[in-house]
């Protein structure tokens, strides 16, 4: 289950004044309703009371320290639950999923709750309001070293944006893949040494193909808060390769995460790939605890087999792929292979 903070924020980071929001933007409210309906919304007691009624067709988890706080009874799909800490609110949302169709927990404010959940959320869905109003309540700082803007849609008075995390390991900076890095990604796709076991799989059709592939990666980030990274050395920002996980739906409807890693040949052998894989598994575990991680490897690709086994994945099947070539399926449950 992804956890996403959703907020409308002014240019001076103001989100409220007393108990009120200092603007009224109908299209933002419509968007909030559309995204959160049939999902879970966690909010502080002040925000809950300033809205003044349970939000329809959603489960609201109200966070309060007041043990006597009572929620109104459920009415159909409109439910209000109470939690006495942030962690309890997240646990409550996770365990009372019920028949809710989707898998996102939204953090809906206010200031105190946003501030206490910045290190727990997988993405930020921010409407930037082009105003600088007076106000007593603020959104926390969105640090550029931690949050990467994956989408921006301009709407005149306000912009809808989405941020996903940049990950860091001991030596690596892992940046969500976008067309900004297309020239680096092409170095991977066009290097025949990387694809010696799989030459037909990766050939770029043309320039547009490279852009299309990266846009698909960016959409993956937007939908799942996780996809493939551009891998850079933190010290020098030098490009090393690409990797991460991509969520795919199997024929039977199950969703699994496919692990990917391709490093420039001259950068291999330094332990960068296991360092990246370990972070990828940690991130999968955070957004999808019951997930399966998979990897398809050609039998002759000894290096990738060693890396998969080092990551704790096991060979569960040998199959023929669409072009009739043998491929090994490696798999692991993320709760078993990631700490």
Ligand X SMILES: NC(=O)c1ccc[n+]([C@@H]2O[C@H](COP(=O)([O-])OP(=O)(O)OC[C@H]3O[C@@H](n4cnc5c(N)ncnc54)[C@H](OP(=O)(O)O)[C@@H]3O)[C@@H](O)[C@H]2O)c1
- Based on CB atoms, which residue is closest to ligand X, 115 or 302? 115
Peptide bond connecting 110 to the previous residue in cis, omega within 30 degrees of 0 = yes
Q: Where is 10: in which H helix or E strand?
A: strand 2-10
Least CB distance to ligand X at residue 103 (A): 22
State which residue, 9 or 276, has the beta carbon closest to ligand X. 9
Which among 248, 223, 243 is positioned nearest to 231, based on CA atoms?
Answer: 243
Binding flags for ligand X, 78-117, as an x/- string (CB under 6 A):
------xxx---------------------xxxxxx--x-
Phi, psi of 272 (to 5 degrees): -70, -40
The residue among 85 and 157 lying less far from ligand X, judged by its C-beta, is: 85
Q: Candidates 13-21, 90-98, 208-216, 295-303 — which segment interacts with ligand X by CB under 6 A? A: 13-21
Residue count, binding to ligand X (CB under 6 A)? 29
- Applying CB under 6 A, the span of 17-25, 208-216, 272-280, 305-313 interacting with ligand X comes to 17-25
Place of tokens 């609201």: 60
- Rounded Cα distance between 33 and 10, Å, is 20
Question: Could you tell me the smallest distance in angstroms from the CB atom of residue 54 to ligand X?
Answer: 15
Instruction: Candidates 46-54, 209-217, 277-285, 307-315: pick the segment binding ligand X (CB under 6 A).
Output: 46-54
Q: Write the DSSP string, 125-152.
A: EEEEES-----SEEPPP--TTTEEEEEE
Question: How far apart (Å, rounded) are the C-alpha atoms in residues 164 and 149?
Answer: 7
Choose between 84 and 152: whose C-beta lies nearer to ligand X: 84
Nearer to ligand X by C-beta: 137 or 307? 137
List the one residue from 19, 120, 255, 267 that touches ligand X (CB under 6 A).
19
Within 10 angstroms of residue 126's Cβ, the number of other Cβ atoms is 21
Question: Which positions from 201 through 230 interact with ligand X, judged by CB under 6 A?
Answer: none
Does residue 137 interact with ligand X by CB under 6 A?
yes
Q: H/E element holding 215? A: helix 207-224
CB under 6 A: which stretch of 16-24, 224-232, 295-303, 310-318 binds ligand X? 16-24
User: Under 8 Å CB-to-CB from 331, ≥6 apart: which residues?
Assistant: 292, 293, 294, 295, 313, 314, 316
Using CB under 6 A as the binding rule, whether residue 20 contacts ligand X is answered as yes
Residue of 223, 210, 142, 141 whose CA lies nearest to 176: 223
Q: Which of 11, 33, 53, 66 binds ligand X (CB under 6 A)?
A: 66
Measured on CA atoms in the order 219, 185, 245, 140, is the torsion positive or negative? Answer: negative
Asked whether 227 and 122 are in contact (CB, 8 A), the reply is no
Residue from 3, 4, 7, 276 binding ligand X (CB under 6 A): 7
Binding interface with ligand X (CB under 6 A): 7-8, 15-16, 18-21, 43-47, 50, 63-66, 84-86, 108-113, 116, 137
């Amino acid at each position: 289950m992804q956890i996403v903070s959703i907020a409308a924020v002014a240019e001076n980071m103001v989100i409220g004044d007393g108990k009120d929001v200092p603007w009224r933007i109908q299209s933002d409210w419509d968007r909030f309703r559309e995204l959160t309906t049939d999902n879970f919304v966690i909010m502080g007691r002040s925000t809950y009371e300033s809205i003044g009624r349970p939000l329809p067709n959603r489960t609201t988890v109200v966070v309060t320290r007041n043990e006597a706080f009572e929620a109104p009874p459920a009415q159909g799909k409109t439910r209000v639950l109470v939690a006495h800490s942030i962690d309890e609110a997240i646990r409550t949302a996770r365990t009372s999923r019920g028949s809710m169709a989707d898998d996102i927990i939204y953090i809906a404010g206010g200031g105190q709750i946003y501030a206490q959940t910045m290190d727990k959320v997988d993405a930020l869905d921010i409407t930037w309001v082009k105003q600088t109003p007076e106000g007593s309540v603020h959104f926390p700082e969105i640090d550029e070293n931690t949050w990467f803007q994956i989408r921006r849609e301009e709407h005149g008075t306000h912009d809808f944006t989405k941020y996903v995390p940049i990950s860091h390991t001991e030596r690596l900076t892992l940046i969500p893949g976008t067309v900004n890095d297309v020239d680096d990604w092409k170095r991977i796709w066009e290097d025949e040494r990387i694809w010696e076991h799989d030459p037909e799989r990766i050939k770029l059709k043309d320039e547009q193909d490279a852009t299309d592939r990266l846009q698909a990666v960016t959409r993956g980030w937007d939908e799942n808060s996780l996809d493939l990274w551009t891998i850079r050395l933190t010290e020098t920002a030098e490009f090393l390769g690409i990797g991460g996980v991509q969520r795919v739906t199997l024929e039977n409807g199950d969703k699994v995460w496919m692990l990917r890693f391709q490093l420039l040949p001259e950068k291999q052998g330094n332990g960068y790939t296991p360092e990246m894989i370990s972070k990828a598994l940690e991130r999968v575990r955070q957004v999808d605890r019951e997930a399966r991680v998979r990897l398809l490897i050609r039998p002759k690709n000894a290096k990738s087999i060693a890396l998969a086994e080092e990551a704790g994945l096991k060979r569960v099947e040998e199959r023929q792929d669409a072009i009739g070539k043998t491929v090994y399926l490696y798999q692991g449950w993320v709760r078993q292979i990631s700490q």
